[in-house]
Amino acid sequence: MRPPRILYVQCSRDEDYLRSLEAVGLDVESVPPDGDVGVALQGIDGVVLAGGYDVDPALYGETMHPACTLADASRDAFEIDLARRCLRDGLPLLAICRGMQVLNVAAGGSLIQDLPSQVPVAIPHAVDDTLTTLAHGLDVVDGTLLSRALGAGMPTQVNSRHHQAAKVIGQGLVVSAHATDGIVEALEAPDSPFCVGVQWHPENFWRTGEFLPLFRLFAMACQNRFAVHM
């Protein structure tokens, strides 16, 4: 039996994502953020949306803040279509950093476009000393998939490299973690077998394994999807 096949949308820092996915036994199909989404999803058991530049605020009905750095329109369109299909079809989705923001926008939500200027009381969320520098604490909501993944005694400190965050939460999504300042750090869709978005970068810890349980839970959902549809 083949391992579950994952669609991973390429970004500027692929290695840690790929290492984390391979560490939990997933077969990764790495694709650029363009092309036909329906074709890209053929034979796929799960999707990973990675980090990158800001989502165009026009997609959630706002004008662009001066601090925004936009991704290209084709990437926005490709990834939002992917996220909506995952939500519609129950295809396991792990969405990281920009990926979580794409998920929220795809579900009809909106974003805080620039935390430093729009939420000046927020703690620093763009801490880029090293990829694994711990930036702030994490409060995980009990009973969520994320709480199941992290479990008792797992890390409550995370790295952080974002200047945007979820504002209005998209339809069908719930908040599953906050930073200690109240900024949303994780979203999930309770009606999906696995749909989790996290604002930090768990993939950077593949060498030490702190967040591999999150990838393992994603891999389990992908395996279940494969077993049902084989």
**Catalytic positions:** 97, 201, 203
C-alpha atoms less than 13 angstroms from C-alpha of 133 in its C-beta half-sphere: 11
C-alpha atoms less than 13 angstroms from C-alpha of 155 in its C-beta half-sphere: 20
Using CA atoms, how far apart are residues 197 and 224, in angstroms rounded to an integer? 20
Using CA atoms, how far apart are residues 17 and 50, in angstroms rounded to an integer? 8
Name the phi and psi angles at 13, rounded to 5.
-130, 75
* 80 CB-contact burial (10 Å; exposed 0-12 / middle 13-18 / buried 19+): buried
Q: Are 82 and 37 a contacting pair, CB within 8 Å? A: yes
Give the helix/strand (H/E) hosting 96. Answer: strand 93-96
